[in-house]
Structure 1
Amino acid sequence: MTINLITFASSLDKHGVIYSSHQTILNELEKYFNLNILSYQDLDKIGKDDFCLLFIATGGVERLITQYFEKLPRPSILLADGMQNSLASALEISAWLHDKGMKNEILHGELQQIIKRIFVLHNNFKAQRALNGMRIGVVGTSAPWLIASNVDYLLAKRRWGIQYTDINLERLQEYYQQISDDEVGAAAAQLAGQALACREASPEDMLKAMRIYRALHRIAQEDKLNALTLSCYKLLETTGTTGCLALSLLNDEGIVAGCEGDLQSVFTMLAARSFTGQSSFMANTSMINTRTNEIILSHCSVGTKQTDRFILRNHFESEQSIAIQGLLPTGDVTVVKCGGECLDEYYVSTGTLTENTNYINMCRTQVRVRLNTSADYFLKHPLGNHHILLQGNNEILINEFMQANGCKRIE
């Protein structure tokens, strides 16, 4: 990991003196990062994908900041160890930048805390850069019951740099019809062989579901999609098959795929992948216990790679096609959801996945999660029905990322 250390000092011609004055902090940084020490005069050499810290090395550099304001990275991270009046200067600079509407913060204090903070900030930076320019395909339309899950495409692009693109469901159906059973037979048999069991569904159902996967995969490649969300129930009406298996396999491949045309949830899944590298489980909130702070999340699709084992079932509501009953590993998890028409609100809570349940009147993959926060959120001010489950404790990463983008946390 490389850090570009943009140095502001009143005597840059004495580079050796500057280094010796701040040797303690620079030596510590060099244990963890590749340092590229540059002058503020080299700001033009910094690319938009280069992670930078503004190293305030001495006092008396406030005017330099004002002169180079337009070239500074946004947000700006100021590093000051206090030597050579550097912290005094950083405080004045920080206040001036805030007055100009630029987000910034000062890194100062215990060296290990500074190192930890740099890792978090670097992760945010990379995630933001990764999201910028990503494309989300909306195949069909959002389900009519998702009345609180709309997204304003233009505002989302302005905030996050992502692009939603509408894709006719007829195109998917056309590609589906072009794929023969023979083309997908081997892949269907291989997947069935990997399953712990196959229940309810027929071999014909399996072949049709695999054809939907191939058709969606083709669209993702042709349109250079990083993510997609599918009008599942409309598809069921026209083809007699659902997208549950297709979405599962796409998520396994790293193409983020969500159900029901839910615009907010697919963005949540895409954002979560950008800062954790993980695939996630999009689910209904099916049961809530506010006394124990437990919830049950359920849906008929989950990436098979997210599971310990999986069972091939039929789709719960329609009793048709292929669904995935995934058995997920127990342990630490994070529940997250981005909401609002311009995706400027979010919920996040850590918890423990304690059990894979098997209620007959719920979607096929079911997990019980004991939250570390109050479950009252779901009953008093939820960000819609669907929420996203990630393995591990990712609260700090998510909270830092969303706060850095000016989002409001809902609790």
Structure 2
Amino acid sequence: MLRFLSVVVRVAAAPNVGAEIREEYLRLYEGLLPRVEEVVFIVVLTGGAEPEILSQAGRFNVLLAWPHYNSLPSALEAAAALRERGAFAEVVALEGPGAEPPAERVRRLVEVARLLDKPPRLMLVGEPNPWLVASDLAGKPDVRVDEGEVYRRSLSMQAAEEARRLVESARESAYGPGELERVLAYAKALREAARGVDGLTLGCWCFNFPRVEERGWTPCISLAVLNDWGVTATCEGDLRALYSAVVLRRISGKPAWISNVNAARGELLLLTHDGLPPSMAKAYSIVPRLATKAPAAIRAEVEPGRPVTLLRVSRDLRRALLLGGITAEAERVEACATQIAVRVTKGSPAAVYKAGLGNHLAFVFDDVYEEVEAYLRYLGASVVTA
């Protein structure tokens, strides 16, 4: 069985490499790499280091190698052996001996290892919306919360300042801060309920006309702003979309969101939803909600050319749809307020049909395709891209 070592950095080399050189590189990379217990970092100095790499490996390993002294061939060989043993092993290429590791790449791999070590804990608030017939997730949610309790708790909360900031930052707004305070107070109540979980999804009342009339607003903005407050939150009770969003957020370190797929043709995907976390938008307006015309939705503007990674997992996590691309321009359709076109460059929009995994796609404005693909591979999932 592979043993877990809680060391920060190890070095590996051919037997003829002396202790002085090993210590020099050990001290150097101890100062350049993050101090985490989950991952063993192994600096591969030369070829012939394979036995040392294997003897020092743990469950989760990042091997750093360079083009000189057959370092990279040794790392690739050892990584293959570690994977065959069921360990996590990723190779990070450096420019040369002593070169700094790519910090963001290393951080992302650490997050992949942490996700594998401790799967996301998910919360369901209320019940999934009735039109979601292929959005449950095996073994989830980890926590269920009564929506009525969250609503009642929100009535005792104040959110005038949060509502004021949201309105003042908007390009335009159909509502004043007073009309949105309950929406923001509800977001605060959800944030309080979400302590101890990695994300929540809300079975909302967006098309429940009697409930909309009773409360006078919908929680579209509540969920959007939660993502800017550090809580991964999605709507409709879609647990598969929530899991996907949590993975994207954890690996990228940026807010993620979900949207309907309203078109998938040629190179383009068209994503629509009645909201977007404000930080993900170039600019936004606050407009009436689709169909019910209640407060409120976010109509966001997203400039072309931004990298995007998109994900949706299956019920048993054995299959996943993974795409990458850049934002683009496209004509609007009759659908939700925020509409985002994506020109797919990794995979194909046709995979949306072939994968057969349902509607909502989670996405993040970042290129984390490689790291997400690694996560899915270690998870044992079959990845559909085209």
Give the Å deviation of 1:274: 1.2
Structure 1 distance, partners of 2:228, 2:49, is: 54
What's 2:282 paired with?
A: 308
What's 1:34 paired with?
A: 31
Q: Which has the higher mean CA deviation after the structures are superposed, 258-267 or 186-195?
A: 186-195
Give the Å deviation of 1:376: 1.4
What's 1:198 paired with?
A: 173
Structure 1 distance, partners of 2:256, 2:91, is: 33
Q: Which amino acid aligns with 1:34?
A: G
Structure 1 distance, partners of 2:320, 2:335, is: 26
Which of the numbers 239, 254, 262 marks the counterpart of 1:263? 239
Contact 1:58/1:84 (8 A) holds in 2: yes
Which of the numbers 150, 161, 165 marks the counterpart of 2:136? 150
Give the Å deviation of 1:134: 4.8
Structure 2 distance, partners of 1:60, 1:311, is: 58
Q: 1:386 to 1:312 in 2, by over 3 A?
A: same
What's 1:299 paired with?
A: 273
Q: Which amino acid aligns with 1:196?
A: R
Q: 1:281 to 1:109 in 2, by over 3 A?
A: closer
Structure 1 distance, partners of 2:203, 2:220, is: 11
Structure 1 distance, partners of 2:43, 2:352, is: 42
Give the Å deviation of 1:384: 1.4
What residue ranges of structure 1 are gaps of 5+ in the alignment? 37-45, 155-162
Q: Which has the higher mean CA deviation after the structures are superposed, 226-235 or 90-99?
A: 90-99
Q: 1:374 to 1:88 in 2, by over 3 A?
A: closer
2:225 is equivalent to residue 249 of structure 1 = yes
Structure 2 distance, partners of 1:204, 1:260, is: 26
Contact 1:312/1:322 (8 A) holds in 2: yes
Q: 1:168 to 1:53 in 2, by over 3 A?
A: same
Structure 2 distance, partners of 1:165, 1:8, is: 48
Contact 2:66/2:96 (8 A) holds in 1: no
Contact 2:249/2:364 (8 A) holds in 1: no
2:340 is equivalent to residue 367 of structure 1 = yes
2:1 is equivalent to residue 16 of structure 1 = no
What TM-score comes out, normalization by structure 1 length? Answer: 0.75
What's 2:9 paired with?
A: 4
Q: 1:123 to 1:369 in 2, by over 3 A?
A: closer
What's 1:41 paired with?
A: none
Structure 2 distance, partners of 1:85, 1:135, is: 42
Contact 2:167/2:177 (8 A) holds in 1: no
Which of the numbers 250, 253, 264 marks the counterpart of 1:288? 264
Give the Å deviation of 1:231: 0.8
Q: 1:201-350 counterparts in 2 under 5 A?
A: 201=175, 205-220=179-194, 223-233=195-205, 238=211, 239-290=215-266, 293-350=267-324
Give the Å deviation of 1:229: 0.9
Q: Percent identity?
A: 21
Give the Å deviation of 1:17: 6.2
Q: Which amino acid aligns with 2:139?
A: Y
Q: 1:50 to 1:60 in 2, by over 3 A?
A: closer
What's 2:3 paired with?
A: none
SS at match of 1:233: coil
Structure 2 distance, partners of 1:354, 1:189, is: 31
Q: 1:183-194 counterparts in 2 under 5 A?
A: 183-194=158-169
Q: 1:47-86 counterparts in 2 under 5 A?
A: 48-53=37-42, 55=44, 62=51, 72-77=57-62
SS at match of 2:205: helix
Structure 2 distance, partners of 1:249, 1:326, is: 13
Give the Å deviation of 1:251: 1.0
Q: 1:400 to 1:140 in 2, by over 3 A?
A: same
SS at match of 1:191: helix
What's 1:40 paired with?
A: none
SS at match of 2:152: helix
Structure 2 distance, partners of 1:169, 1:347, is: 30
Contact 1:288/1:375 (8 A) holds in 2: yes
Q: 1:285 to 1:47 in 2, by over 3 A?
A: closer
Structure 2 distance, partners of 1:289, 1:279, is: 27
What residue ranges of structure 2 are gaps of 5+ in the alignment? 1-6
What's 1:379 paired with?
A: 353
Q: Which has the higher mean CA deviation after the structures are superposed, 145-154 or 123-132?
A: 123-132
Contact 2:39/2:58 (8 A) holds in 1: no
Give the Å deviation of 1:78: 5.3
Q: 1:8 to 1:313 in 2, by over 3 A?
A: same
Contact 1:337/1:346 (8 A) holds in 2: yes
Which of the numbers 114, 131, 153 marks the counterpart of 1:175? 153
What's 1:158 paired with?
A: none
**What is the number of equivalent residue pairs in this alignment?**
371
SS at match of 1:206: helix
Report the structure number with the largest CA radius of gyration: 1
Contact 1:74/1:103 (8 A) holds in 2: yes
Q: CA RMSD in A?
A: 3.9
Structure 2 distance, partners of 1:97, 1:376, is: 35
Contact 2:14/2:46 (8 A) holds in 1: yes
Q: Which amino acid aligns with 1:217?
A: R
